[in-house]
Structure 1
Amino acid sequence: MDFRRRFWIVSAALAVAGCAVPLAAPPPSAGAPAVQTNSLGMRFVRIPAGEFLMGSDEPAATLARDFPQLPPERFALLGDEGPVHKVRITHALWMGQHEVTVGQFRRFLERSGYVPESIADGTGGYGWRVDYDPAKTARGDAFEGRDPRYAWNNPGFAQGDDHPVVNVTWNDAQALAAWLSRTEGRRYRLPTEAEWEYACRAGSRTRYSTGNDPASLRGSANVFDQSTAAYWPRWKAMALPADDGFAFTAPVGSGAPNAWGLYDMHGNAWEWVADWYGEDYYARSPVDDPQGPADGSVRVRRGGSWHTWPFYARASYRNWNAPDTRYTLVGIRLVREDGP
């Protein structure tokens, strides 16, 4: 299968149809969000049912104008973000307020006996090369792997227990959700792609929940900024013109939350979602609670990471990996289904 992204223009008829029905995304609460904490110390925010417009149909010319640092061909590869279509999330759910942390994942392993894939298959994960010198290496990757030296507890850079766990596979996320479901008697799972974007947007219709300008991410998103660019000087032009003090991952919740009380929906770690990836899925997606294609070869990840250029941290941007991928940029956010 060719997963290369092809740009195509959404027809006026589809755009009108997608906007004809009034949306019912709930407004942000005037008070603090309802929060529950589980047995691993994960905090979950109640996300109400509602409707929203999913995806993006921004013309390539508009994106090229607003992101002049990127080569023009980049904007011809975003066809899978459209057509913009109405989605109805029919049931309230509890979304992880934060990405799963290193400490929470460690407690899961200790209590369950589960062995992460990077260790179980003996091939390891990916890691930051501590000997990488951008001044001496004009080309080449600062990450290396798969290598048994690297795993969830060693991505090659220092992390505390309050940082998002990375180097975890989609299958690891499934194991975590299944164990929590068994031990707590409540169903845990990865969010669907639609649930994820609904929660990320939190009632907004802009590129980011903070607005259209990448500069609006300051103070709320750990993306590729001046701290990180110090390690990749040749990409400095792509960096957010801000410095959050974190060259790699940051403690979860270091910035401001979105309107629904969720942190790090943009940046810090890419987040696995439940869906198989389908380039043309939006054109046939059902309105109510879309679950993604019935099958596929790669799973979707959303949100961007500490190493992501702001353009790719947009709420509508889609990316993917094989379910057994373990990488220094990819982590987990869980959903707990509604209940007492």
Structure 2
Amino acid sequence: MTPRLIGLSLGFAFGLAFGLSCGDARADDLAVERNSLGMAFVRLPTGEFLMGSDEAPDALARDYPQLPKERFTQLGDEGPVHKVRITRAFWMGQHEVTVGQFRRFLEASGHVPESVADGTGGYGWRADYDPATTRRGDAFEGRDPRYSWRDPGFAQNDDHPVVNVSWNDAQALAAWLSRAEGKRYRLPTEAEWEYACRAGTRSRYSTGDDPASLLRGANVFDARSAAHWPRWRAMALAGDDGFAFTAPVGSFAPNAWGLYDMHGNAWEWVADWHGDEYYARSPVDDPQGPAAGTVRVRRGGSWHTWAFYARSSYRNWNAPSTRYTLVGIRLVRED
């Protein structure tokens, strides 16, 4: 299986109904704690929500006219919409893991990221790289040893989300934190991730249904990013969010549960294997995803993601060893 092609508004009332129950959480009521690496975690309550999407292809084609219509018939894994019950409160990373936090983990643990350990590197941006000259037409150059978590080809500081990290690297980070602090850290399940992202909404984004609403709450592919990829300019949001590449975490408005960058900035690995038909048989309580698979799910979109693929329900995937300039980490700490 190959990965799919991809290219917060505080105005929502806190505690907005899921159509079911979300524990009446309010951002100003939720506890926030920091760990030994300086990561902030927000305690999310138990609750129920409707997971997935059943939007008709015609409705999507109307609102995303830049995309070929066949894209809207390739979303079978987003349905059926089904009730999910989160039965245990958990602590969700308020931000994506940053470059500085990842560096401190490496220094303390001795872990060697896969992009370095196997010598093949990651992917990166280069100003004179032309996707049209390559067999795959990929937006980025790689794999290449010049690119890794340290250098995705564009400037980052310690407050930017770390990218070019694999699912296996995320597992190593969670395991080390668990040993160091005596509390269990892990990647969120896909259900926990969508529950946290929606924060009480049933719209396409936590900012609403209009793709342009993302400019208020997400770092996605916009006019500033499109300046570096003119061939995809038509896919960009017609606005400038101030960042051509990654932004420091927390640069945009949080969702109603006080979580930042759930849409955009960096794709986020989740724990689950991907299954096209898993939603049809998913248990109601705390679904964990398929028991086996070949690719792991990633969610949320990135700074280079077209708005359609940053929807709360959209699912993408890669092999666990993938390291890519758009993919990062957000962790959960168990209650």
- Shorter-chain-normalised TM-score: which range? over 0.9
1:16-73 CA distance string (max 9 Å, x none): xxxxx96111334162531000000000001101000000000101100111111101
Distance 1:176 1:49 in 2: 26
Aligned to 1:71: 68
Distance 1:222 1:53 in 2: 25
* TM-score in terms of structure 2 length: 0.92
* TM-score in terms of structure 1 length: 0.91
Distance 2:291 2:165 in 1: 23
Aligned to 2:15: none
The yes-or-no answer on 1:293 pairing with 2:290 is yes
Percent identical pairs in the alignment equals: 80
> Out of 299, 306, 309, which is 1:309 matched to?
306
The yes-or-no answer on 1:328 pairing with 2:329 is no
Secondary structure in 1 matching 2:216: coil
Q: Which amino acid aligns with 1:302?
A: R
Distance 1:144 1:133 in 2: 9
**Structure 1 residue 132 displacement after superposition:** 2.8
1:202-228 CA distance string (max 9 Å, x none): 000000011000111112100000110
- Residues 133 and 320 (structure 1), Cα distance of their counterparts in 2 relative to 1, 3 Å cut: closer
Please tell me whether the aligned partners of residues 4 and 77 of structure 1 are also in contact (alpha carbons under 8 angstroms): no
Please tell me whether the aligned partners of residues 191 and 286 of structure 2 are also in contact (alpha carbons under 8 angstroms): yes
- Residues 102 and 277 (structure 1), Cα distance of their counterparts in 2 relative to 1, 3 Å cut: same
Aligned to 2:252: 255
Aligned to 1:9: none
Which has the larger displacement, 62-71 or 262-271?
62-71
> Out of 217, 221, 228, which is 1:220 matched to?
217
Aligned to 2:78: 81
Distance 2:206 2:177 in 1: 30
Aligned to 2:240: 243
Aligned to 1:16: none
Aligned to 1:27: 24
Gaps of 5+ in 1: 6-20
Aligned to 2:175: 178
Aligned to 2:99: 102
Q: Which amino acid aligns with 1:176?
A: L
> Out of 94, 114, 137, which is 2:111 matched to?
114
Q: Which amino acid aligns with 2:61?
A: A
Number of aligned residue pairs: 322
1:161-182 CA distance string (max 9 Å, x none): 0000000000000000000000
Please tell me whether the aligned partners of residues 129 and 142 of structure 1 are also in contact (alpha carbons under 8 angstroms): no
Please tell me whether the aligned partners of residues 164 and 249 of structure 1 are also in contact (alpha carbons under 8 angstroms): yes
Gaps of 5+ in 2: 6-17
1:224-247 CA distance string (max 9 Å, x none): 001101011121111111101110
The yes-or-no answer on 1:277 pairing with 2:274 is yes
Please tell me whether the aligned partners of residues 51 and 83 of structure 2 are also in contact (alpha carbons under 8 angstroms): yes
Aligned to 1:168: 165
Higher relative contact order (CA 8 A, sep 6+): 2
Please tell me whether the aligned partners of residues 129 and 141 of structure 2 are also in contact (alpha carbons under 8 angstroms): no
Secondary structure in 2 matching 1:218: helix
1:40-59 → structure 2 map (5 Å cutoff): 40-59=37-56
> Out of 150, 153, 171, which is 2:150 matched to?
153
Secondary structure in 2 matching 1:31: helix
Which has the larger displacement, 30-39 or 99-108?
30-39
Distance 1:28 1:160 in 2: 33
Distance 1:25 1:171 in 2: 32
Task: Compute the RMSD of aligned alpha carbons.
Answer: 1.9
Q: Which amino acid aligns with 2:240?
A: D
